[in-house]
Amino acid sequence: MIEITPQINSGECVVCREAITNPICPDCLAAEAKVWLNENAPDLTGFVSKPETVTRAFLHIASKCVVCGKEMSVCPHCYSRDIFQELAQESPSTAAKFARVFNYEFAKPRVPY
C-alpha cells in the first residue's frame, strides 16, 4: 500500500518525493487500468483501489492532471506501482503484462535523490 511522506516542495509526489513529470492523476490511471484489467483479467478489476482514498488523504497539491485537469499529488509511477504490487501477489503473469502496458518502471525500485 502507498505510504505518504510529508512534503514541502511544490511539484513533488507525496509518496516518492520525485518531481511529477508525467502528470496523469490516479483517477485517470485507475480508469485506464480498470478497462485494461476488464479486457485481460476481469476477475482482478477489484485490485484497482479507489483513487479518492489515496488523493484526498492530504492537502498537498503538486500538479494538475493533463488529462482531466484535477489537482493531484501522487505521481503515476507510485499509483501504478501500488496496483502492480497488488496484482503481483494474486497473479504474477497478469502483473507482468500490466508492467509492460503501464510502463512507469515500477518493477524497479526508485531511489530518491
Instruction: Supply the pLDDT for residue 24.
Output: 92
* Domain residue ranges in the chain: 36-101
- Please, where are the H alpha helices in the chain? 26-40, 51-55, 76-90, 92-101
Chain segment 35-90, per-residue pLDDT in tens? 999 999 988 888 776 655 454 445 567 788 999 998 888 888 888 888 888 888 88
Contact 26, 72 (CB under 8 A): yes
CA distance 62 to 72: 6
Instruction: Supply the pLDDT for residue 53.
Output: 44
pTM of the entire predicted model? 0.75
CA distance 109 to 106: 7
CA distance 95 to 74: 21
Higher pLDDT, 101 or 2: 101
